[in-house]
Structure 1
Amino acid sequence: MRLSAVIERHLAHLRDVRRLSPATVRAYRSDLRDLTHILDDPEIGEITREDLREWLWHVQQSGASRATLARRAASARGLFAWAVADGDLPTDPASRLLTPKRGRTLPTVAPAVALAEVLAELGAAASETGDPLALRDHAILELLYGAGIRVSELCGLDSDDVDRDRRTLRVWGKGAKERVVPFGGPAAAALDAWLVRARPALLARLEDRAGAQAALFLGARGGRLGPRAVYDLVARTVGPLVGRPVGPHALRHSAATHLLDGGADLRSVQEILGHESLGTTQIYTHVSHERLTASYRLAHPRA
């Protein structure tokens, strides 16, 4: 069987059985399509470890980072391990495929005080004008930061997923895993303003009301709000605080780091973020340590 055909079956398995997100499946497709191109789509049983090393050499020569090399090698290992388990291959040519370890990059975190000021200013301006899109944008930012949720989780929220009395959200995370996440007072006020003052007005403008009826957040032209609009919103509001363009994950990083700075225990932060592994959450302890060290060096007379 040709490599390209096995890849398509593997991607269908990732999408339909493992229930990986569309963005993750697209990333796998991109990596493995490059493998097909470099090897000229051979029979999968003809591929050797040397072929895979040659492919990674081409990737490296193209100027790819260590992180890209590591990700592509992981994609190949996943493909061939699955092909062996599925009976397409007797042995796994990628089982000992090694790549340089990716360097650890600390997440981008917005300063807590500056972020609070920006959110307060946006909320005041939205409340004064009553503009539905401004009220929506303020509620989006408050929820991303206040609940620490992913952009895919935010865009997937329905109105019924919000418990306004308990101040919780029911979100569907990676692997279609459900969890309940709390949010605070500022997010609750912003969400109430959106639901009471703005969402009905925006819904009334839309031609396809049925398609948008369930969604918590609506796009300007109708239907459920998409991730691209959220990325643009965060880039223009939070980006100036950190000195470069950032996406919605910067607010998730900020929420986790500020929780730890405030004394939250690591297990609680893990549950809020929906991380399977505690090791994934531990990166934020490094961020807090870096911030603590930087503050010490700036403030202590004998630092």
Structure 2
Amino acid sequence: RLLDAAGPAPADAAPGELVGMRDRALLELLYATGTRISEVLALDVDDLHHGDVLRVRGKGDKERIVPVGSYARAAVDAYLTRARPELSRRGRASAKAFLGARGAPLSRQSAWLIIQQAAERADLTAHVSPHTLRHSFATHLLQGGADVRVVQELLGHASVATTQIYTH
């Protein structure tokens, strides 16, 4: 429900729905990859042009490769081709992938607000944060039978004990 409330699906977006397309791409990417909000906001446009994988710099400047699902890929591609160029024209040139309505790189506070507003539109009463999407990613993988060590690598955890918190 949260992703549906984020913004239009790429095929349904009207040209004027730039921010909605950005929001959808952001939320789809966070959920599909389990990345931290800081990792997604640090991405440059070039980081998003690697097909079905994403190269992420995590804590301690450790790099990892995570797969990107088809829904997230479609949302990101639509944002990059249809919305981001227009948002970019509104501000100073920035290589950052996610931009605010005025063309500046999207801040953590703005990303948090995007998630909160999507949760409200989806009538979710539980607390929702960027980490909620990361937690959901890990929990759904583990519930689906994924090996905890694979999930550990995808999340960039140094210790499997940290990943096991998600097995509740």
Q: Which structure has the larger Rg over C-alpha atoms? A: 1
Which whole-Å deviations, capped at 9, do the CAs of 1:152-208 have from their partners, x for residues lacking one? 00110011112442x1111111111111111100000000100111111111222x1
Q: Do structure 1's residue 233 and structure 2's residue 114 form an aligned pair?
A: yes
In structure 2, relative to structure 1, the CA distance for the partners of 1:241 and 1:177 (3 Å cut) is farther
User: In the alignment, residue 86 of structure 2 is paired with which amino acid?
Assistant: A
Counterpart secondary structure, 1:179: strand
In structure 2, relative to structure 1, the CA distance for the partners of 1:224 and 1:191 (3 Å cut) is same
User: In the alignment, residue 27 of structure 2 is paired with which amino acid?
Assistant: L
Find the aligned partners of 2:27 and 2:138 in 1 and give their Cα distance.
15
Which whole-Å deviations, capped at 9, do the CAs of 1:7-50 have from their partners, x for residues lacking one? xxxxxxxxxxxxxxxxxxxxxxxxxxxxxxxxxxxxxxxxxxxx
2:46 paired residue number? 160
Return the offset for 1:273: 0.5
Q: Is there any run of 5+ residues in structure 1 with no aligned partner, and where? A: 1-113, 287-303
Find the aligned partners of 2:154 and 2:44 in 1 and give their Cα distance.
19
Which whole-Å deviations, capped at 9, do the CAs of 1:46-65 have from their partners, x for residues lacking one? xxxxxxxxxxxxxxxxxxxx
2:104 paired residue number? 223
Return the offset for 1:232: 0.6
Q: Do structure 1's residue 179 and structure 2's residue 60 form an aligned pair?
A: no
Counterpart secondary structure, 1:123: coil
Q: Do structure 1's residue 204 and structure 2's residue 79 form an aligned pair?
A: no
In structure 2, relative to structure 1, the CA distance for the partners of 1:128 and 1:258 (3 Å cut) is same
Find the aligned partners of 2:127 and 2:117 in 1 and give their Cα distance.
8
* Equivalence map 1:270-289=2 (5 Å): 270-286=152-168
Farther off after superposition, 240-249 or 260-269 = 240-249
The percent of aligned pairs where both chains have the same amino acid is 49
Find the aligned partners of 1:258 and 1:241 in 2 and give their Cα distance.
21
Return the offset for 1:115: 4.5
User: In the alignment, residue 98 of structure 2 is paired with which amino acid?
Assistant: F
Partners of 1:236 and 1:245 within 8 A in 2: no
Q: Is there any run of 5+ residues in structure 2 with no aligned partner, and where? A: none
Counterpart secondary structure, 2:54: strand
Higher fraction of helix: 1
1:243 paired residue number? 125
| Matched pairs, number | 166
Return the offset for 1:226: 0.9
Return the offset for 1:217: 0.7
User: In the alignment, residue 218 of structure 1 is paired with which amino acid?
Assistant: L
Q: Do structure 1's residue 148 and structure 2's residue 30 form an aligned pair?
A: no
Return the offset for 1:127: 3.1
1:188 paired residue number? 73
In structure 2, relative to structure 1, the CA distance for the partners of 1:163 and 1:125 (3 Å cut) is closer
Farther off after superposition, 126-135 or 182-191 = 126-135
